[in-house]
Amino acid sequence: MIEYNYGEPMRRGRIEVICGSMFSGKTEELIRRMKRAQFAHQKVEIFKPAIDTRYSDDDVVTHEGVAIPSTPVDNSSSILLLGDQCDVIGIDEAQFFDENLVAVCNELASKGVRVIIAGLDMDFRGVPFGPMPALCAVADDVTKVHAICVRCGALAYVSHRKVHEEKRVLLGEVNEYEPLCRVCYQKAKTP
């Protein structure tokens, strides 16, 4: 915080994006940052898309089972309403939100809120996913995390879908997806 000349505190808002493939530790890093903010006695709230019910209807949960309470919402506008009095807002699985998420995050940051966003930067085809590219563009800080390619051990590039399903959104875990490097991904795509 900085102070105005009159001694009243002014919060500095910012947008932090954590992106990468599945199994790269995005949610783990989001939870780590949110717990640090809680430890500092900041008012925090975590939001997730209501469609993400893989491990819990309500909590944000890592693949390893680490959980933190969250508020599921159907659209990004709800984040503005429900997170009105927060110092820090976390948003998990941001790729599943509508494009208005960028405007919501900008508005929150302009009001002095620290916004921490985690999400897939690309879908299973290697195409930028949802509002994530625009969020990376407006972010004050972008952290790209990497999983390890399950076929060769290099840094993973993309979340390869192992099941034949063409719809873009398919909630899944290790049975449906695997992290692959660029070379192994190209090999996997070749019949």
Active site residues: 93
Q: How far is CA 155 from the centre of its chain?
A: 19
How many CB atoms are located within 10 Å of the residue 80 CB? 16
Contact 116/30 with Cβ under 8 angstroms? yes
User: Tokens in use for 67?
Assistant: 């959980």
Radius of gyration of the chain (CA): 17
d(CA 104, CA 34): 19
> Quick one: DSSP state of residue 19?
E
Number of Cβ within a 10 Å radius of residue 76 = 21
Query: What is the token pair recorded at 122?
Result: 């690309």
Strand partners, 158: 180
